[in-house]
Chains A and B, each alone.
Chain A
Amino acid sequence: MIGTLLRIHWTNLRRDRAAQLLTFVVPIAFFTVFALVFGGQGRGVTGRVTVLVVDEGHTETSARIVRALRGEKSLRVRTLARVSDRDTTRVPITRARAEQLVRGGDAPVAIVLPAGLDTSLARFDGGGVPIELLSDPSDAVAPQVVAGLLQKVVMTALPDLYMRRGVGQFERYTGGLTPRQRQAVDLWLPRLRAQAAADSGGPVAGAAGPAGDSTASDALSGMARIKVTEVLGRKEDTSLVAFYAAGIAVMFLLFTASAVAGTLLDEVEAGTLERVLSSRVGMTGLLAGKWTYVTLLGMLQITVMFVYAMLAFRLDLLRHLPGFALMTVLTAGVASAFGLLLATLCRTRAQLGGISMLVILPISALGGSMFPRFLMSEAMQRMGLMTFNAWALDGYVKVFWRNVPLPELWPQAAVLAGFMVAFLALARLFARRWERA
């Protein structure tokens, strides 16, 4: 009896392509996408963080720090930038420009090496001007990574400075070195400096010292003063709540759009489509009606999500209403068109279910609904831009984190509108099969 039941189920599975898709293909597709998203494209390499460096001191010390930062494989250091969006002349980055670039999302972090840094490092009294990190709070990880690396870089790039200052402190509290001790220190300092230069890939000055001695650096770790400044608006605006509200809303919007657009297939099966098309309504009118409905439903769904985020998590929705409205209309419109395209591509509801899972979950992962794109590798970030939901999320991020005015949303608006038109055109094309035979 069990054998008979097994045979029935196995036969059903063999003949049900949607079930096969869900059972075998979808999990593999998911695994692949997530392995790529989280696994550094299978090479175990995490993405490099772009860092803007503002050298306000222009001293040898600041130059050594910049050189050492360039030697860090996990950082992409930029010291030059275009004057503005219109003027493409590349000039050294100023603090104001760095702030502008971080706010605009060009880089998650900028390091400001202030004038007077030479006298501020390794003071052991907490005084002096700190190194400043201008951070984009939308990226919770990059500032931490850069701060840690900056500590390391300062220690390893300037060991001689730290030793000299340390000896100074020692002399201050113990009454000075003996001539022999002084001679040993003077001999050691150039070697430390040469070694640091060699480690950071810069020119080696002075005599070569013993390599691999990091004891001094380790002991002094954490002694560079770093001040982190978030360059965007008020704190509650910059939380991840807005990002996840948008991410989750867009992902579920896609499922909703696909499911509701799937009523087209129900209508084919039930015969109501035939009846509707026999009335005064043509296929274009029918698709337009369904697209309008799904778009309105999607707008409502996103709005409910953001209102909830406002009430439960103090998301400042009201202050961002125009941008939110624009992004919501476009996002719902393109998701609705996408749902219609999927429905017109499929022959049955079961097929639509399988294909929706297969398409929506991976593009949600790639587009950043599940995991912020800025934490993905660059290749994955670029790949994500092929999905419309990445553009939608970028738009919401611009609205809620960067407080950009409406006109600056034009790239996202244009791309989403382009996707929408393309999806609708394709859906109309595929729907021809239900028209007059």
Chain B
Amino acid sequence: MTVLRVEHAKKSFGATQALADVSLELREGELLGLLGPNGAGKTTLVRALAGRVRLDGGVIELFGRRLAAAETRESLGVVPQEIALYPLLTARENLEAFGSLQGLRGAALRDRVAWALDWTGLAERSREPVKRFSGGMKRRLNIACGVLHEPRVILLDEPTVGVDPQSRERISVMLDRLRAGGVSMLLTTHQLDEAEARCERIVILDHGRVIAAGTLPELVRATVGAQRVVTLRLDRAPSAPVEGLAPEGDGTVCRGQVHDADLDLAALLRRVAAAGCAIRDLEVRQPSLQSVFLHLTGRELRE
């Protein structure tokens, strides 16, 4: 079941076209990764979904209803990229404030604050001002403030940026708990390994358009096809360059790509043997999301 649908979303700021024509859908219980280089239109799309940008054209539907309706927006939780917390307030006070702004009152608010403190692992620090928190603690609280009102769809804009691996892991566990409850999530991130590991489907935006969408294998097939990455560890560095391989470090590790492992791998290994090298180790793997991403969006810097 589709919970969030974007159809032909268009938005321009002056002469800059932020969203040229974006269509995507988020399915129930799904974690959808929204990727794209800087300036691709991700933030504009997330802000439009959060009701903070008025589209020039197109439609956004949440549970089959136009997003503009206030009651529809209550089903939506937004976790901004910034640490959007009041630093002089304690964790509990921040949760109470944002919960209240989302319409929670009385016992419902108290229950949700208690849940959030437990969920984030901040119960013991709940009475400390947020300004004393580490980056990871702030990130967790930042997420909690966006989901207090139990939204069924959550927009997560770079929720793990700038945190250490332990905090990132903790946040992943938190999000998994939410998903186990049937919550659907749209995650924008530049951390492709994270998206590759966690997202069921991925949408890649560039220049305000969706340039690819699907599961990782689907994206691989649609972009780099049967291409595989081959890594060889040799007994010694080849005395002459081997076609299709690029040496790394001291030359005993070489990396290359084969368009079709069935056809091309044997030929590559023969060329290595012909160069007089013995193979100590061999790894053949599917290209990463990063390969797909760079294949689609190019290697030029986006600034």
Contacts and interface: CB of A to CB of B under 8 A. Distances in A.
Interface residues on B, range: 20 to 34
Contact of B52 (A270, A277, A280): A277
B145 interface: yes
B60 interface: no
B86 interface: yes
Interface of B: 13, 47, 50-54, 70, 73-74, 78, 80-87, 98, 101-103, 145-146
Contacts of A275: 78, 80, 84, 98, 145-146
Interface string A247-289: 0000000000000000000000011101111111100000000
A437 B47 contact: yes
A73 interface: no
B52 A437 contact: yes
B53 A278 contact: no
B98 A437 contact: no
A251 B98 CA distance: 34
Interface string A275-309: 11111110000000000000000000000000000
A276 B50 CA distance: 11
Given A271-B82, A272-B85, A436 B102 contact: no
Nearest to B77: A278
Contact of B70 (A270, A274, A280, A437): A280
Contacts of A278: 50-52, 73, 78
Contacts of B145: 275
Given A270-B84, A271-B83, A276 B52 contact: no
A267 B52 CA distance: 15
Q: Which 10 A-B pairs have the closest CB atoms?
A: A271-B82, A271-B84, A279-B101, A275-B84, A272-B84, A436-B54, A278-B50, A278-B78, A437-B53, A271-B80
B47 to A, nearest CB: 7
B134 to A, nearest CB: 17
B145 to A, nearest CB: 7
Nearest to B49: A278
Nearest to B51: A278
A437 B11 CA distance: 10
A263 to B, nearest CB: 9
Nearest to A285: B101
B53 A436 contact: yes
A279 B52 contact: no
14 contacts: A270-B84, A271-B80, A271-B82, A272-B84, A274-B47, A274-B80, A278-B50, A278-B51, A278-B73, A278-B78, A279-B101, A280-B102, A436-B51, A436-B52
Interface in A378-437: 436-437
Contacts of A270: 82-85, 87
A27 B13 CA distance: 40
A274 B85 CA distance: 11
B84 A437 contact: no
Interface centre among B50, B74, B85, B101 (most CB of A within 10 A): B101
Interface in A107-152: none
A271 B74 CA distance: 20
Given A270-B84, A270-B85, A275-B145, 14 more contacts: A270-B82, A270-B83, A271-B83, A272-B85, A274-B50, A274-B52, A274-B82, A275-B98, A275-B146, A278-B78, A279-B102, A280-B101, A437-B13, A437-B53
A281 B101 contact: yes
A276 B73 CA distance: 13
Given A437-B53, A437-B54, A280 B103 contact: yes
Contacts of B86: 272
A275 B50 CA distance: 9
A278 B53 CA distance: 11
A91 B84 CA distance: 70
A290 to B, nearest CB: 14
A270 B145 CA distance: 14
Contacts of A271: 80-84
Contacts of B78: 275, 278
Nearest to A280: B103
